[in-house]
Amino acid sequence: MKYVDEFRDHDAAQRLAERIAAEADPARAYGFMEFCGGHTHAIARYGVASLLPANVRMIHGPGCPVCVLPIGRVDQAIALALEHSAILCSYGDTLRVPASGGLSLLKAKARGGDIRMVYSAADALKVARQNPAREVVFFAIGFETTTPPTALVIRQAAAEGLANFSVLCCHVLTPAAIRHVLDSPEVADWGTLPLDGFIGPAHVSIVIGSAPYEPFAAAYRKPVVIAGFEPLDVMQAVLMLLRQVNEGRAEVENEFLRAVGRGGNPAAIAAMAEVFEHRESFEWRGLGTVPDSALRIRPAYAAFDAERRFDLHYRPVPDHKQCECGAILRGLKTPTDCKLFGSVCTPDNAMGSCMVSSEGACAAHYAYGRFRITPEAPAALPLKGATPAAGQSPSAASA
């Protein structure tokens, strides 16, 4: 395959669906967690779940960086803007994440905070150069995908002696989250999660490679298939997982060969290792405190650590009592299990991070799944070449 529309081809999807149905043992049930929010949206948008046998269940995971950002960290970012008068630079998808006191970064901006949306860490560095008399803080979030750019701007700021620039580091780590899904006492308390395997993240794996998942697969006897974000990528990964489970294997396989290698990106890994070190523990929204699951800035670059510079102290804040984001991120519940979903909680009035993030499971269900409540409504956007379903107009099929 060469072009993106080839990964959305209707006929190819039907052939893959037939192979999946032939592989799935009707005498047993399968549960596969798609770790990344990008996969969740692909499954919802293209109706992948409707092409799978009834005994193959896809389970949402915690791989949405905005969804797992705890309230206390957003509170710290707001305090930098409102109490310390810093220019706070943030990615756009964090601006509406609910924080304490009914605030968010966007609402703090309306109160006079100098909060600016940036598209990259390099944009934040540019703001610092343009405002030498102001403190400029980059609110750095995300998994290993966005961590190397943060490392590079810290290194660049040090080379330039840019004394007014610092980073509030909230980068988290993928393998630790996968382990926590199975190990945490909360999962034991809330119920057993029937997981047979994982679809590994795409962008993260471009950076770290496939090797970091190998100890996990061996220790937990859970196969991992790294997959791209297109619908045919996801379906191929499901087929590969079915084969592993049926054959009693628990290996790391790579469907995303066009972008992922075993060793990842050595230059990116080296930059991260130079600038960051592991935190002993870090609170994840919905998951609680997860050991060895996040990064902080090394002492050699302490001058660029906003937590040290502004003497910030972390204070955990509980989520909304009726918000089910925690259980959804663990795969124990679906968005429609939440009483707030689609009524009180919508993308325009998000009560939890799973709805506010463009990668969140609740946002995916709201955008592509909420219309399924009427029998005549299409389940999702059709794959390329799809024909209208019974009772569906041609215009709706091509929407």
* Domain layout of the chain by residue ranges: 71-174+264-309
- Output the pLDDT for position 294: 96
pLDDT per residue as tens digits for the range 56-91: 999 988 888 898 999 999 999 999 999 999 999 999
- Rounded CA-CA distance 8/158 in Å is 45
pLDDT for residue 144 is more than 50: yes
Q: Would you state the pLDDT for residue 382?
A: 44
pLDDT digits (tens, 9 = 90+) for 382-393: 454 443 333 333
| Tokens representing residue 51 in the block | 């092409």
The whole-number pLDDT of residue 113 equals 97
Tens of pLDDT, residue by residue over 84-115, are 999 999 999 899 998 999 899 999 999 999 99
pLDDT of residue 194: 77
Task: Kindly report which listed range (71-75, 181-185, 285-289, 341-345) carries the lowest average pLDDT score.
Answer: 181-185
- Residue 379 pLDDT > 60, yes or no? no
Rounded Cα–Cα distance for residues 297 and 364 (Å): 33
**pLDDT on residue 2:** 66
pLDDT at position 323: 87
Q: How many residues does the chain have?
A: 399
Q: pLDDT tens, 198-242?
A: 999 999 999 999 999 999 899 999 999 999 999 999 999 999 999
The mean pLDDT value of the chain amounts to 88
Mean pLDDT of 117-145: 97
Residue 384: per-residue pLDDT: 47
CATH code of 71-174+264-309, in short, is 3.40.50.11740
Q: Write out the DSSP string of 177-237.
A: HHHHHHH-HHHHHH------EEEE-SHHHHHH-SGGGHHHHHHHT--EEE--SSHHHHHHH
**Residue 175 — very low, low, confident or very high, per pLDDT cuts 50/70/90?**
confident
pLDDT for res 1 = 61
What's the pLDDT at 191? 44
H or E element at residue 39: helix 37-45
Q: What residue type is assigned to position 155 of the chain?
A: R
Task: Identify the pLDDT of residue 92.
Answer: 92
Q: Which of 365, 367, 1, 37 is nearest to 202 (CA)?
A: 37
- Residue 27 corresponds to which amino acid? A
Contacts of 110 (CB under 8 A, 6+ apart): none
Q: How far apart are CA 224 and CA 342, in angstroms?
A: 33
Take residue 335 and report the two structure tokens written for it.
């968005």
Q: If DSSP codes are grouped into helix, strand and coil, which group holds residue 276?
A: strand
- pLDDT of res. 387: 38
* 290 to 34, 148, 191, 284, 293: CA distances (angstroms): 20, 22, 19, 7, 6
Does the pLDDT of residue 398 top 80, yes or no?
A: no
The rounded Cα 279 to chain-centroid distance in angstroms is 20
**How far from 236 is each of 17, 62, 80, 128, 231, CA to CA, in Å?**
9, 22, 45, 45, 9
Which of 12-16, 45-49, 291-295, 375-379 is predicted with the least confidence, judged by mean pLDDT?
A: 375-379
Asked if residue 397 has pLDDT above 80, the reply is no
pLDDT of 149 reads 97
Predicted structure pTM score: 0.87
Roughly what angle, to the nearest 10 degrees, separates helices 231-247 and 37-45?
A: 110
Residue with the two structure tokens 């190998």: 214
CB-based contact 65:333 (threshold 8 Å)? no
pLDDT exceeds 90 at position 152: yes
Q: Please, are residues 240 and 253 in contact by the beta-carbon 8 Å criterion?
A: yes
